[in-house]
Amino acid sequence: MRAVLQRVTQASVTVDGKIVSEIQTGLLILLGVEEADGMDDVQWLASKIANLRIFGDEQGVMNLSVKDCQGDCIVVSQFTLHAMTKKGNRPSYIKAARPEQAIPLYEAFVLAMERELGKKVGTGIFGADMKVALLNDGPVTIFMDTQNKL
């Protein structure tokens, strides 16, 4: 499971001209599910993201997590995070999980984030053509891969 975390002061997801999720301070999480992923990846990643200290404290030092600062989150499915670009000029997505595997793990991740944060998490619409807008704060952008947990 791969995730790109973007610390934001605002973010939104629009589908067919309608805003389906919108937050202010928090994290926009782009999530890609791989064939090898399972529930252990979901739990590990949700806990790690919820507790990752990437928000500024009173002194402006990155000492607070999204949970600590009571920030919000939007999770957007993004199979292109598993693009393989080694050969040729057309990315291959062979490692990305098929929807029948990816959707349940994506939904489990959203629920795990909601449990971690104790509140609702915004989402995009799996498989839809989404327009994602954000104001990256910092900018702070972090890439995580559950295949590199150790």
Per-residue pLDDT reduced to its tens digit, 55-69: 999 999 999 999 999
**How far out from the chain centre does Cα 27 lie?**
8
pLDDT in tens, 64-92: 999 999 999 999 999 999 999 999 999 99
Gap between the Cα atoms of 116 and 125, Å rounded:
21
Range of the domain at 109: 2-148
Report d(CA 67, CA 54) in Å as an integer: 11
Which position among 14, 25, 55, 79 bears the catalytic label? 79
Q: What is the pLDDT of residue 146?
A: 96
Domain count, the chain: 1
Specify whether 59 is catalytic. no
Residue 79 falls in the annotated catalytic set: yes
Average pLDDT of every residue of the chain: 96
- The first and second tokens of residue 41, run together, are 């990846």
Give the C-alpha separation, 48 to 116, whole Å. 10
Q: Are 22 and 12 in contact (CB under 8 A)?
A: yes
**Predicted local distance difference test score (pLDDT) of residue 149:** 79
Q: Catalytic residue at 80?
A: yes
Which CATH number fits the domain that encloses residue 87?
3.50.80.10
- Give percent helix, percent strand, percent coil of the chain, each to the nearest 5: 25, 40, 35
6, 78, 123, 146: the active-site residue: 78
pLDDT digits (tens, 9 = 90+) for 93-136: 999 999 999 999 999 999 999 999 999 999 999 989 999 999 99
Q: Is the pLDDT of residue 150 over 80?
A: no
Q: Which one of 70, 80, 141, 147 is the catalytic residue?
A: 80
